[in-house]
Amino acid sequence: MPVYIGKRLLVAIPTLLIISIFVFSLQKLLPGDPILAMAGEERDPAVIEFLRDKYRLNDPVVVQYFYWLGGVLTGDFGISLRTNQPVLELILQKLPVTIQLAVMAMFFAMLIGIPIGILAAVRKNTFIDYLANVLALTGLSIPNFWLGIMLILLISVQLGWLPASGYESIFVDPVRSLQTMVMPAFVLGNALAATLMRHTRSAMIGVLSADYIRTARAKGLSPSEIILSHGFRNALLPVVTLSALLFGELLAGAVLTEQIFTIPGFGKLIVDAVFNRDYAVVQGVVLCTAVGFILMNLFADILYVLLNPRLRAAL
């Protein structure tokens, strides 16, 4: 297993290098000049030249890239042009918020999507299957911002059960933190649940028609044991892949949902950075998101080996 993980990490290195090139190119592709914004209204040429030298913008692009990459490898993502804070400090402030929201959203997605997907596969071509497909299509069709607004009006304004917006750190007040995160996590998890349900159903239908399932039935095993122990475990591989990709997508930040519920995560951070032409923050957030995707794919590969004895034997 350690050798397998090491090989996967070696494969990830060139991927990260290519991603870093694209991330750095964002600064050149985005319109506007952040130096002019930093120079103030008067835009003194001496100040502009000083700032360009300070941030090495007069150097060739290749030199700028390697200087930036060297800083990233040592934990220096640059300085925010808007707040004058280190970008790494901003990322570390927002990362726990985004991770908490992503974990809770995936919890709702799995809690809803996987059981319904299994039930739809077991009851294929019945009313339950058709109803599950209708629910999945509905979940995919409803925009997150509309569902978020409706939940705020119903649960917060009309019933007063949960706060309409805001955020409290789970390390400061766990109960308040969960209360503020339940609705945005459900909004995100609802859409993901529909996708998970469809993939779980397809995977289970393929597994339930396999020969070893018929053998298990012939041995007199209980339906629950056949479905969960023999069926669902072998149908997990595509579900694990999808879950890892969906979780990586959540780490990128849910822009509209975070804006509606005033959640200070990656989505809000990157939107504010783009509007303020804070390119260092945009680069840092995108790079961290890309690393998150790669780590989640590595985690999915490790789960493959743990779940599939044939892969373990091949290592």
Residue 253 has pLDDT above 70, yes or no: no
Q: Tell me: do 231 and 293 sit in the same domain.
A: yes
pLDDT band at 170 (very low <50, low <70, confident <90, very high): confident
pLDDT band at 305 (very low <50, low <70, confident <90, very high): confident
Q: Tell me: do 133 and 281 sit in the same domain.
A: yes
Cα 37 from Cα 39, distance rounded (Å): 6
Cα 187 from Cα 175, distance rounded (Å): 19
Q: Tell me: do 99 and 69 sit in the same domain.
A: no
Predicted TM-score (pTM) of the model is: 0.80
Q: What is the pLDDT of residues 206-225, one digit of tens each?
A: 887 777 777 777 777 777 77
Q: Tell me: do 112 and 58 sit in the same domain.
A: no
The per-residue pLDDT for 287 is 84
Residue 288 lies in a domain: yes
Residue 25 lies in a domain: yes
Cα 91 from Cα 103, distance rounded (Å): 18
Residue type, 243: S
List the CATH number of the domain containing 221.
1.10.3720.10
Give the chain's domain count.
2
